[in-house]
Amino acid sequence: MRKQAASIKEVLKDVLKGMSGEKKQKIDRIKEAWLGALEPTASAHAQPVAFKAKRLVVSIDSSAWMYELNLKKPQIHRQLNEKLKKDDIFIKEMVFRIGEV
């Protein structure tokens, strides 16, 4: 018996669903590594919110914490890339923004 052909709509829906799931897995893995790279006090004030084209966007709840984390940015960047190496995730750039955490 022959299989019934799937509509383009169904195929695209499945493909897009898989792609968004992969993005969600990456940001979830980055969030785990973020918690390990920062002290608990600092991680309560900053959280990764987006990762696209090897660029990580981090939301920080105050300018004081942004200043503090900017001082530690090279260390954080290096630690994240070390922790994420096994997941084939490489962060080329980190951008800090004031926003909700």
pTM score, two decimals? 0.77
Digit-coded pLDDT (tens) for 51-94:
999 999 999 999 999 999 999 999 999 999 999 999 999 999 99
Query: What does the pLDDT read at residue 44?
Result: 96
Per-position b or e across 45-78, b if 16+ CB within 10 A of its CB: bbbbbebeeeebebbbeeeebbebbeeeeeebbe
Per-domain boundaries in the chain: 8-98
CATH superfamily of 8-98: DnaA, N-terminal domain (3.30.300.180)
Digit-coded pLDDT (tens) for 13-59:
655 555 556 778 999 999 999 999 999 999 999 999 999 999 999 99
Query: What does the pLDDT read at residue 19?
Result: 53
